Amino acid sequence: MSVILSIQNLGKTYASGFEALKDVSLDIRRGEIFALLGPNGAGKTTLIGIVCGIVNGSAGRVCVDGHDIARDFRAARAKIGLVPQELSTDAFETVWATTRFSRGLFGKPHNDAHIERVLRELSLWDKRGDKIMTLSGGMKRRVMIAKALAHEPEILFLDEPSAGVDVALRRDMWAMVRRLRDAGVTIILTTHYIEEAEEMADRIGVIHGGKLILVEDTAVLMQKLGKKQLTLHLQHPLAQLPAGLARDALQDARDGTLVLADDGNTLIYTYDSQTEQTGIAALLRRLAELNIDFKGLRSSESSLEDIFVNLLKEHA
Amino acid sequence: MTREADVPGNPRKAGRERAATTGALNLYAIRAIYLFEMARWFRTFMQSAASPVISTSLYFVVFGAAIGSRMGEIDGVPYGAFIIPGLVMLTLLTQSISNASFGIYMPKWSGTIYEVLSAPVSATEVVMGYAGAAATKSVLLGLIILATARLFVAYEIAHPVWMLGFLVLTAITFSLFGFIIGIWADNFEKLQVIPLMIVTPLAFLGGSFYSINMLPAFWQKVALINPVVYLISGFRWSFFGVADVSVGLSLAMIGLFLAICLGVIVWIFRTGYRIRP
């Protein structure tokens, strides 16, 4: 897959001295959905701001489909649509007028058929004559997406698109993002909803303290960093783990850990999901030998959220 | 090592290489900004246009018809007619500044400036859109006021083409000045400070209601420091063929102020001052 956005050694230090980005390099593939995760202040919005031309970078280089964003800013910016995090709208304009304005601003001639398609796609067609100030927050978010799509961009940046929208609208938006990807648009989104990234993104990048600490295919990330847990609810509580239980049961398992929780009522065994020797059979055998009965068991897999939190802890 | 001019989004580099790499202007963007601003004006036409027309009419009623009828001629021009160019210029200056400053300040204030900054538009195109719309509104207001004045006072325009030239040039220059104020202002109070505290007093003291030749010799010299004197003098010459200073000097002063405003705007976009951190 070819690269549509290339970011090389990007750095940003604000006038206050705050270093928002530190030597960030990243290639975005054409047609993918890329999710950029990171805590507040990690540098996500600054990164997007530089690529889109809202913020001046301090170091590095950015190319959009081969066009340097400084030297060839017209060609580069014409390919990008941006939906910012803040709901910034022209309150007194109608939905139709503001969407048409966006198309003209990006150097495209009138195409009312396209504007109509976008508005219908976002369920805004019936609201086209309404002033933006009369719309709900969710509808305003849709208007911002419509404005970003008005000039038919090849890359769409969605900065926290789900912030403050209800579940139904969020699911609508996910469906729309997938349709755009199917139509060939490259999507780069930042989000605090980890499940959103897990469900939608082809690849995930994690940014922390201005540094890009990880970029990986979502599926590979889940495989590589995902952990499984076996939770055993004991018949009778244990005061402590029997001596040698962990060592004996887990001698063949890699990276397995066994802890006693819930006032001695629960045993939690965490193991590497990729290994062949999980150690479960040995653990159960050893428990039987020690006459430790359990009334129930549950197996679970760590989510992207767990992976994300662990990554941030590692880089704290 | 990365050179400063090579860093992403750096407008110094972009500005230098723009002509070579991009060629023509983004006319669709200029039109979009221009029409957007004009639509905003028409939407609030009553407060945008009617208010200055009403206040100027009051000036004509008071100074033209009531007091003017008891005053003699100035430079051979009846007082009621004499004040017309000054009153038009007063409105032109304040409206150009206010329209342009408000036009660019509002997107900054509401956050919608992100769209302009992320669009494939150059500084020239942004200024042409915003300042062009502001200048158009001011010129239309000036013409409306001239038409209104005709209801109160009889007057002729000796040099109509020059009159229109002065009108347009002054409107453009002060719209650029207003654009700078709009970028500089970070609250609504600052937006009003320069028009109210500096421009309006300068317009009143710049010969709107009198010829500076009527002042004592010392104050005539002081008055020449006021740049508005040159605007009003040149504009009045286009009406009546009489001026406080030479027409060439008036034009040169407008040209100088225009060049200063353009220089400041170029600097603003090169550095990203108050628009692009």
In the predicted structure, residue A293 carries a pLDDT above the cut 50: yes
Mean pLDDT across chain A: 87
Nearest CA in chain B to A90: B112
Q: A interface mutation test: which of B13, B47, B118, B126 has the most A CBs within 10 A?
A: B118
A258 and A202 both lie in a single domain: no
Instruction: Tell whether B159 is within 8 A of chain A (Cβ).
Output: no
Q: DSSP secondary structure string, B8-45?
A: TT-HHHHHHHHHHHH-S--HHHHHHHHHHHHHHHHHTH
Chain B residues close to A58, C-beta within 8 Å: 7
How do residues B248-258 score in pLDDT, each as one tens digit?
999 999 999 99
Residue A290 has pLDDT above 70, yes or no: yes
Provide, as residue numbers in chain B, all residues whose Cβ is less than 8 Å from the Cβ of A15. Answer: 277
> Chain B contact for A225, CB < 8 A?
no
- Of A44-48, B70-74, B127-131, B259-263, the range with the lowest mean pLDDT is B70-74
pLDDT surpassing 90 at residue B182 = yes
Same domain, A214 and A242: no
Single-letter amino acid, residue B256: L
- Give the rounded percent of residues in chain B with a pLDDT score beyond 90: 40
Kindly state the average pLDDT of the residues A223-249: 79
Which is more confidently placed, A303 or B244?
B244
- Residue A154 belongs to a domain with what CATH number? 3.40.50.300
Most confident of A291-305, B3-17, B154-168: B154-168
Q: B72, B266, B65, B119: which is closest to A150 by C-alpha?
A: B119
Same domain, A258 and A182: no
A41 interfacial to chain B (CB closer than 8 Å): no
Interface contact flag, B17 A75, Cβ < 8 Å: no
| Residue A237 shares a structural domain with residue A184 | no
- Lowest-confidence segment of A36-45, B157-166, B167-176, B211-220 by average pLDDT: B211-220
A194 compared with B7, residue with greater pLDDT: A194
CA distance B55 to chain A (A): 27
Which is higher by pLDDT, B3 or A105? A105
Mean pLDDT within B138-165: 90
Beta bridge partners of A24: A10
CA distance A6 to A28: 6
What is the structure's pLDDT at B31? 95
Cβ–Cβ gap B110/A88 under 8 Å: yes
| Residue A241 DSSP symbol | P
One domain for residues A12 and A104: yes
CA dihedral B2, B4, B6, B12 (to 10 degrees): 180
Residue of B8, B11, B118 lying closest to A60 (CB–CB): B8
Query: What is the tens place of the pLDDT at every residue in B65-117?
Result: 777 777 777 888 888 888 889 889 988 999 999 999 999 999 999 889 999 99
**CB within 8 Å: B118 and A61:** no
**Nearest residue to A270 via CA among A286, A281, A254, A284:** A254
Confidence class of residue A302 from pLDDT cuts 50, 70 and 90? Answer: low
Give percent above pLDDT 70 in chain B: 91
Cβ distance A77 to B119 less than 8 Å, yes or no, reads: yes
This complex has an ipTM of 0.80
- For the cut 50, the answer to whether the pLDDT of residue A38 exceeds it is yes
- The pLDDT assigned to A278 comes to 74
- Give the integer Cα–Cα distance in Å for B246 and B56: 27
Sheet hosting strand A266-272, strand order edge to edge = A257-261, A266-272, A227-234, A294-301
Q: What is the pLDDT of residues A95-140, one digit of tens each?
A: 999 999 999 999 999 999 999 999 998 889 999 999 999 998 888 9
Domain CATH code at residue A287? 3.30.70.1710
Query: Do A14 and A55 belong together in one domain?
Result: yes
Which of A223, A239, A272 delimits the end of a domain?
A223
Q: Please give the average per-residue pLDDT across B243-249, as a whole number.
A: 89
Q: Quick check: A205 contacting B, CB < 8 Å?
A: no
Cβ-based contacts of A62 with chain B (< 8 Å)? 8-9
pLDDT(B48) > 70: yes
Out of B13, B29, B118, closest to residue A54 by CB: B118
Residue A182 sits in the same domain as residue A158: yes
The confidence band for A224, taking pLDDT boundaries of 50, 70 and 90, is: low
Following DSSP, what letter does each residue of chain B receive, concatenated?
Answer: ---GGGSTT-HHHHHHHHHHHH-S--HHHHHHHHHHHHHHHHHTHIIIIIHHHHHHHHHIIIIIIIIGGGS--BTTB-HHHHHHHHHHHHHHHHHHHHHHHHHHHHHHHHSTHHHHHHSS--HHHHHHHHHHHHHHHHHHHHHHHHHHHHHH-----S-HHHHHHHHHHHHHHHHHHHHHHHHH-SSHHHHHHHIIIIIHHHHIIIIISS-GGGS-HHHHHHHTT-HHHHHHHHHHHHHHS--SS-HHHHHHHHHHHHHHHHHHHHHHHHHTTTT--
Residue numbers in B near A9 (CB within 8 A): 2
Band (A86; pLDDT cuts 50, 70, 90): confident
Domain boundary (A223, A247, A276) is at A223
- Residue whose structure tokens are 């068991």: A297
Q: Are B119 and A50 a contacting pair at CB < 8 A?
A: no
Q: Which of A70, A88, A105 sits opposite B32 (nearest CB)?
A: A105
Among B2, B121, B277, the residue with its CB nearest the CB of A59 is B2
Q: Where are the domains of chain B?
A: 24-271
Task: Return d(Cα B53, Cα A77) in angstroms, integer.
Answer: 43
Of chain A, the percentage scoring pLDDT greater than 70 comes to: 91
What is the DSSP secondary-structure string of A148-159?
HHTT--SEEEEE
Tokens of B196: 């109210």
Instruction: State yes or no: pLDDT of A303 exceeds 70.
Output: no
What pLDDT does residue A30 have?
95
Does the CB of B268 have a partner CB in chain A at under 8 Å?
no
The per-residue pLDDT for B53 is 80
Mean per-residue pLDDT, A12-27 = 93
pLDDT classification of A256: cutoffs 50, 70, 90: confident
pLDDT of B45 higher than 50: yes
Q: What is the pLDDT of residue B273?
A: 84
Mean pLDDT of A242-268: 77
pLDDT of residue B157: 92
**With 70 as the cut, is the pLDDT of residue B1 above it?**
no
- A235 and A124 within one domain: no
84-113 in chain B: CB under 8 A from chain A: 110-112
Structure confidence at residue A253 (pLDDT): 61
Does residue A64 carry a pLDDT above 50? yes
Find, in chain A, the residue whose alpha carbon is nearest to that of B27. A107
pLDDT at residue A143, rounded to an integer: 93
Terminal C-alpha separation, chain A: 34
Total number of domains constituting chain A: 2
Identify which of A53, A82, A95, A55 has the alpha carbon closest to the alpha carbon of residue A151. A82
Q: Is the pLDDT of residue B35 over 90?
A: yes
Question: Does B43 sit within 8 Å of A53, measured CB to CB?
Answer: no
Whole-number pLDDT of residue B3: 42
Q: Are residues A24 and A152 in the same domain?
A: yes
Domain that holds residue A290: 226-314
Closest in B8, B22, B32 to A70, CB measured: B8
One DSSP character per residue, B70-94 reads GS--BTTB-HHHHHHHHHHHHHHHH
Q: Which residues, numbered 96 to 115 in chain A, qualify as contacts with chain B under a Cβ-Cβ cut-off of 8 Å?
A: 97, 101-109
- The Cα B192–Cα B97 span in angstroms is 10
- Fill in the amino acid letter for B274: R
Q: If pLDDT is split at 50, 70 and 90, which confidence band does A225 have?
A: low
pLDDT digits (tens, 9 = 90+) for B13-33: 444 334 333 457 889 999 999
Are A38 and A182 part of one and the same domain? yes
